[in-house]
Amino acid sequence: MPAAPRRHRAAAIALAALIALAASLAPASGSALAAAGGGVATGGTPRLADATCTSRCVAARKATPGATVRLIGIHLDSVARVVFQGGAGPLRAAVLRRESGEVRAKVPPRATSGRPYVVSEEGVSSNPSPKKLEVLPTSALPVQVFPVRGAHQYWDGFGAGRGHEGVDVGARCGTPLVAAQAGRVRYTKYHSAAGNYMIMNADRSDLEFGYMHLIRPASVKPGQHLSAGQLIGYVGETGNAQGCHLHFEVWKGVWYGGGSAIDPMPYLKAWDAGRRTG
């Protein structure tokens, strides 16, 4: 599924939630809405329609401590903090980003599952988010591993002044390559530039990973589900490659199907150091 329609659908859902929220508010605070409609920038009790996780997520409404959460609603332009539930009472978090329809905040270290709410600069609290936001331990995050299982070095990065869509990781030909995260194989093919390559879709995310220049065709099959660390092939230099290396790509959305290539380096560096990425 292409990423653009996916984003449109998410936007449509958010909009529908806001319309439903505005409709539900009309009898109670018609004047505030009328004032907002009349172009008055301030005022209005903040109202939340939803809270979803955007990084370090187990699922859309399953976050972990340190996760970034996006809260949508109305009258959020004066929100000063987000309040999460904690074992010993409410936990305040600073607002990372603020617009009239959304704010973002990080889940505090000791937060527990619950319905977060926001508080304006004037001290006015919103409703609790209508849907529960679960806070799970960091161990619930997907396992991630570095894709090259052996000595390696970083060669050309993303862009590299030539529209390079991935990061080149130099390693001896024959070094095992593994799934960086659990997911499903989408393609195993040959291309004159990419050589033997494999594309996989990571579970519980909209990320796709590409592995290029494999020494032989990938040892996995399209549709096959892979666990993190599962062998997919070996480093090679097939296609347009000078020297044995893995050309690794990370796409947000579908690989060459509406998604876009993003810089894999932050992911690779984190996995290389045994850290996780959202």
- Residue position matching structure tokens 């660390």: 229
Q: Tell me the closest approach of the beta carbon of residue 182 to Zn ion, in angstroms.
A: 25
CB of 253 to Zn ion, least distance (A): 20
Nearest to 101 by CA among 166, 191, 196, 36: 36
Using CB under 5 A as the criterion, which residues of the chain lie in contact with Zn ion when the complex forms? 168, 247
Q: Minimum CB separation from Zn ion for residue 168, in Å?
A: 4
Taking residue 99's Cβ as centre, other Cβ atoms within 10 Å add up to 11
- The nearest distance, CB 165 to Zn ion, in angstroms, is 8
Closest to Zn ion by CB, 139 vs 242, is 242
**CA gap 63, 69 in Å, rounded:** 8
Closest CA to 140 of 248, 49, 220, 66: 66
Q: How many CB atoms lie within 10 A of CB 141?
A: 21
Q: Which is nearer to Zn ion, 77 or 237 (CB)?
A: 237
Minimum CB distance to Zn ion smaller for 75 or for 247: 247
At position 145, the amino acid (one-letter code) is V
Query: What is the enclosing helix (H) or strand (E) of 29?
Result: helix 3-37
Closer Cβ to Zn ion, 90 or 157, answer by number: 157
What are the two backbone dihedrals, phi and then psi, of residue 251, each rounded to the nearest 5 degrees? -115, 140
| Distance separating the N- and C-terminal Cα atoms of the chain | 21
Nearer to Zn ion, 131 or 164 (CB): 164
Residue nearest to Zn ion (CB): 247
Work out how close the CB of 210 gets to Zn ion at its nearest, in angstroms, rounded to a whole number.
10
